C-alpha cells in the first residue's frame, strides 16, 4: 500500500510541472538585434520562454524580483506587469491576464513567456519559422531612410543625413548587372535588380549595422529592414542571392546559410537558373517555337476553331514580352494575350481561345520584347 501511495505522489509531482524542451535553435531578436542569454530559451507547450532579465531590459523596462514569493514586477512608463512563477494568471496595471503557460524555473534560471511580456510592453511579436526566431519590434520610433534608387540587386542609393549614400546589403550577393566589365554581368543579375526595385525603390527602410559601418569603397554596410522584415533574408529566401559573408560582419550568418539551403533545395530563383545554364544543349524535340537571338519566322501553330491555342518561347529571364494575334477583323483582344515577363528560366507562354466562328486560314502572330518573333496561326 505504501508503495502505491509513493508511486502516486511521484506521478503527481511529475505532472505538476509543464513539459519543456530547452533549445539552442530558438533565437530572439528585439528591433533586429539578437538577444544573448546565459541559458537557452525553452519551448513549453509551443510557447517560447526566455530569461526574464534579458527580455525586460531589452524592452527598456525596470525589473524587481521578490524571491520569497517568486514574483517579478516589470515597469515601463505607465505599464506595470506582475507575474508569479508557476501562476497562470498575471496582471497588467492591476488587470488580470491569463497565460498560456506560466513562468518557470529551469536549471536555476527564471524564464518567462516572451510573447506575453513583449506584447504587454507594447511590442509587436512575430515568429520566423524558417530561422526559428521570435522577432520582436519594440515600437520605439525608428529612423527611416528613403530609397532613391536601386543600383542592383544588393546595392541601394538612399537619402542619409541630408546626402546621397550607397548601401551595400551585408552577407548577401546577387549576380552582377551593372559591372563596368560587361562580361561579368549576368542575366539573372538583371532579374534580381528588377525584384529589388519592385520592393524597395521609393520606399522607406530602416538600417541595422554590424561591426563595420562602411566598406573600403565608402558604402554603408547594413541589414535593410522594411515592414518589419529583413530584406537581406528575403533575397536569400526567394533565391535571388547567395550568402557572401565577410568577418567581422557575421551577426546573422547562420540564419543566412539556413535560408540559402532551403532556397537551393527548393530550386528557387538563381539556383534553377544556374542548373539550367549548366545543362548540355540538345536538339529541341518540341513543336513549340523557341526564340533565337533576333527574330524567328515560319513557325506554324495549328488549331481548330473554338479550341485553345498556345504559343511558347524561350526568351531572356525577367524581360517582358507582348503578343499580338491578327485575324481578318484585326488584332485579337482575347483573354490570355496580356504582356508577360519571362520566368527565371526564360520561359514565357500564352494560351488563348480561338473564336468558334474564326474562318479557316493562316493568321499572323507577333511576339515582341528584346527580340521579335513572327509565328503563323493556322486555323483548320
Q: Where in the sequence numbering do the catalytic residues fall?
A: 168, 176, 219
164 vs 158: CA distance, rounded Å:
6
Q: Name the nearest CA neighbour of 115 among 131, 94, 96, 100.
A: 100
Residue owning grid cell 549576380:
175
Could you give the 3-state DSSP secondary structure of residue 79?
strand
* CA distances to 297, 299, 303, 348 from 291, in Å: 10, 11, 21, 10
* Cβ proximity of 115 and 125 under 8 Å: yes
* Cβ proximity of 134 and 153 under 8 Å: no
Q: Name the nearest CA neighbour of 363 among 352, 338, 22.
A: 352
Sheet of strand 20-22: strand arrangement: 20-22, 42-44, 47-51, 109-113, 104-106
Burial (CB count <10 Å: 0-12, 13-18, 19+), residue 20: middle
Q: Name the nearest CA neighbour of 151 among 163, 137, 165, 161.
A: 165
Amino acid at each position: 500500500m505504501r508503495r502505491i501511495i509513493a508511486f502516486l505522489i511521484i506521478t503527481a509531482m511529475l505532472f505538476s510541472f509543464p513539459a519543456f524542451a530547452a533549445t539552442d535553435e530558438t533565437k530572439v531578436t528585439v528591433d533586429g538585434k539578437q538577444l544573448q542569454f546565459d541559458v537557452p530559451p525553452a519551448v513549453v507547450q509551443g510557447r517560447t520562454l526566455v530569461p526574464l532579465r534579458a527580455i525586460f531590459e531589452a524592452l527598456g523596462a525596470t525589473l524587481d524580483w521578490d524571491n520569497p514569493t517568486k514574483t517579478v514586477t516589470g515597469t515601463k512608463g505607465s505599464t506595470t506587469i506582475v507575474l508569479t512563477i508557476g501562476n497562470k494568471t498575471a496582471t497588467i496595471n492591476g488587470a488580470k491576464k491569463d497565460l498560456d503557460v506560466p513562468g518557470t524555473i529551469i536549471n536555476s534560471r527564471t524564464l518567462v513567456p516572451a510573447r506575453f511580456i513583449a506584447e504587454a510592453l507594447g511590442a509587436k511579436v512575430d515568429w520566423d519559422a524558417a530561422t526559428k526566431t521570435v522577432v520582436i519590434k519594440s515600437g520605439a520610433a525608428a529612423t527611416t531612410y528613403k530609397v532613391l534608387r536601386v543600383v542592383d540587386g544588393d546595392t541601394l542609393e538612399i537619402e542619409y543625413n541630408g546626402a546621397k549614400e550607397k548601401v551595400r546589403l551585408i552577407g548577401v550577393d546577387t549576380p552582377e548587372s551593372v559591372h563596368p566589365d560587361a562580361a561579368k554581368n549576368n542575366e539573372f543579375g538583371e532579374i534580381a535588380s528588377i525584384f529589388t526595385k519592385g520592393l524597395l525603390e521609393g520606399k522607406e527602410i530602416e538600417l541595422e549595422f554590424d561591426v563595420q559601418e562602411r566598406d573600403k569603397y565608402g558604402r554603408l554596410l547594413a541589414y535593410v529592414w522594411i515592414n518589419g522584415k529583413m530584406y537581406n533574408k528575403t533575397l536569400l529566401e526567394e533565391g535571388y542571392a547567395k550568402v557572401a559573408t565577410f568577418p567581422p560582419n557575421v551577426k546573422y550568418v547562420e540564419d543566412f546559410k539556413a535560408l540559402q539551403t532551403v532556397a537551393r533545395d527548393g530550386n528557387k530563383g538563381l539556383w534553377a537558373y544556374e542548373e539550367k545554364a549548366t545543362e548540355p544543349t540538345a536538339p529541341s524535340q518540341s513543336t513549340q517555337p523557341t526564340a533565337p537571338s533576333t527574330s524567328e519566322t515560319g513557325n506554324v501553330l495549328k488549331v481548330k476553331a473554338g479550341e485553345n491555342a498556345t504559343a511558347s518561347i524561350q526568351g531572356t529571364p525577367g524581360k517582358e514580352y507582348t503578343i499580338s494575334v491578327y485575324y481578318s477583323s484585326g488584332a485579337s483582344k482575347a483573354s490570355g494575350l496580356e504582356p508577360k515577363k519571362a520566368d527565371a528560366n526564360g520561359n514565357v507562354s500564352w494560351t488563348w481561345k480561338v473564336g468558334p466562328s474564326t474562318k479557316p486560314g493562316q493568321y499572323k502572330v507577333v511576339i515582341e520584347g528584346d527580340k521579335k518573333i513572327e509565328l503563323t496561326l493556322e486555323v483548320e
